[in-house]
Chain A
């Protein structure tokens, strides 16, 4: 079943056409790698799917919601990780996680579980402002998971993480996919991203084309 369907999508940022007729279909439970050079439109594509960037023309449907009609209704059911942490400096780790979870209608237990999964238990009462860059990245990823999303949109999720954190993230993403969560990962770290992806597409000059990478037999069924 297609979770994401994009047809001839055009998005314009200022005068610049960030997406110039992009087509994309993503099925439930896939881990899709979005590869491509800087400025190709990967981030804009993720923000379009999150309903943060309007369509100039074309169509897009995410989680059964037609974005040309309503770009907000599906947001509670997805999480987006961008270059920012989306957290408040003066709230602690656990308070930020609980705020993210409650906003999406998830329970506090989901926030506690996400903190544990990402190894944030020992710093649960530390404010975001006092965290290192790597700890902030873990918190942002944990907050995304705490929302119990059906769709995860990740923009360079490995950036800022140490080796242990990267391995942990990969295992969590594969487990989430096995639980039916659909994951889109925009990344320049192709070897690492390919090790967990089930399929790859290349975003270039605002359009999407099929990538050469195909997951090993059995991976696509994750």
Chain B
């Protein structure tokens, strides 16, 4: 499932050719709006980065759902006989890989645009991975819930963005602490991100098969 989704993305290049430019554009617009010479940009950069990632992830999750909507592929998945939990883990893994690649480019753009010195790299990496698993799991769970709705494109952000508020808060705080050279203060936030990701991974693994049937 993961390999299939990644192969489709490698060919269609929706995330890299459309979502990534969207993310970079959002970062540039933030810089324009907030005055690049202002000292405020480096201070709020972690929040801007994670808002950008969250908005971009909605598009990536939407793409993951759309792939299964073409040519009755969702019915094919239901008929395939594959375990719902396995389908969920495969789809989450594919979204995580795509989002991590996206974040890698966006973080470099953030550091360059907002003139930030890189510190606490270990915390940044672990926090980013934990937050990404949380976002991908949540998006995949609510994505399948909305997959049968005609207003899917607008419903998914309405469902996912509020639920991901703890991820936005935790990842922003962890990044702020790490970039300020206070990595010790970041770990409780990283733990929050880990707990959130584990919770939604578990919920999705258990419920995905049933949600797919009911959608």
Does the CB pair A87–B79 fall under 8 Å?
A: no
Using known A-B contacts A88-B67, A88-B73, A89-B71, determine if residue A95 contacts B7 with beta carbons closer than 8 Å. Answer: yes
Closest-by-CB residue of A relative to B12 is A90
Does the CB pair A86–B78 fall under 8 Å?
A: no
Q: Is A191 an interface residue (CB 8 A)?
A: no
Task: Kindly list chain B residues whose C-beta atoms are within 8 Å of the C-beta of A78.
Answer: 79
Does the CB pair B76–A100 fall under 8 Å?
A: yes
The one of B12, B67, B76, B80 in contact with A76, judged by C-beta atoms closer than 8 angstroms, is B80
Does the CB pair A85–B71 fall under 8 Å?
A: yes
Does the CB pair B80–A52 fall under 8 Å?
A: no
Task: Kindly list chain B residues whose C-beta atoms are within 8 Å of the C-beta of A72.
Answer: 78, 81, 209, 213
Task: Kindly list chain A residues whose C-beta atoms are within 8 Å of the C-beta of B213.
Answer: 71-72
Does the CB pair A88–B8 fall under 8 Å?
A: yes
Does the CB pair B73–A80 fall under 8 Å?
A: no
Interface residues of B in 69-98 (CB under 8 A from A): 70-73, 75-82
Task: Kindly list chain B residues whose C-beta atoms are within 8 Å of the C-beta of A95.
Answer: 4, 7
Does the CB pair A85–B11 fall under 8 Å?
A: no
The one of A52, A83, A90, A99 in contact with B79, judged by C-beta atoms closer than 8 angstroms, is A52
A170 to chain B, nearest CB (A): 24
A190 to chain B, nearest CB (A): 26
With the chains together, A87 CA to B209 CA distance in Å?
20
Does the CB pair A85–B81 fall under 8 Å?
A: no
A55-96: CB near B (< 8 Å → 1, else 0) gives 000000000000000011001111110111111111100010
Q: List 14 A-B contacts (CB under 8 A).
A: A50-B79, A51-B79, A71-B213, A75-B80, A75-B81, A76-B81, A78-B79, A87-B71, A87-B73, A89-B71, A99-B4, A100-B76, A100-B80, A103-B82
With the chains together, A71 CA to B82 CA distance in Å?
13
The one of A75, A77, A79, A86 in contact with B72, judged by C-beta atoms closer than 8 angstroms, is A86
Band of interface residues on B: 20 to 34
Task: Kindly list chain A residues whose C-beta atoms are within 8 Å of the C-beta of B82.
Answer: 103
Q: Is A127 an interface residue (CB 8 A)?
A: yes
Number of A-B contacts (CB under 8 A): 67
With the chains together, A103 CA to B75 CA distance in Å?
13
B→A interface (CB under 8 Å): 4, 7-8, 11-12, 67, 70-73, 75-82, 209, 213
With the chains together, A84 CA to B68 CA distance in Å?
12
Instruction: Please provide the 8 A-B residue pairs with the shortest distance between their CB atoms, ordered closest to farther.
Output: A76-B81, A84-B72, A86-B76, A103-B80, A90-B11, A90-B8, A75-B81, A85-B71
With the chains together, A75 CA to B71 CA distance in Å?
19
List 10 other contacts, CB 8 Å, given A80-B79, A84-B75, A91-B8.
A75-B80, A75-B81, A76-B80, A83-B72, A85-B72, A86-B75, A90-B8, A95-B4, A103-B82, A105-B81
Task: Kindly list chain A residues whose C-beta atoms are within 8 Å of the C-beta of B77.
Answer: 103
Task: Kindly list chain A residues whose C-beta atoms are within 8 Å of the C-beta of B71.
Answer: 84-89, 128
Task: Kindly list chain B residues whose C-beta atoms are within 8 Å of the C-beta of A75.
Answer: 78-81
Task: Kindly list chain A residues whose C-beta atoms are within 8 Å of the C-beta of B73.
Answer: 86-88
Task: Kindly list chain B residues whose C-beta atoms are within 8 Å of the C-beta of A71.
Answer: 213
With the chains together, A104 CA to B8 CA distance in Å?
20
Task: Kindly list chain A residues whose C-beta atoms are within 8 Å of the C-beta of B78.
Answer: 52, 72, 75
With the chains together, A104 CA to B75 CA distance in Å?
14
Task: Kindly list chain B residues whose C-beta atoms are within 8 Å of the C-beta of A105.
Answer: 81
Closest-by-CB residue of A relative to B79 is A75
Does the CB pair A52–B75 fall under 8 Å?
A: yes
With the chains together, A100 CA to B12 CA distance in Å?
20
Task: Kindly list chain B residues whose C-beta atoms are within 8 Å of the C-beta of A85.
Answer: 71-72
With the chains together, A99 CA to B8 CA distance in Å?
12
B150 to chain A, nearest CB (A): 14
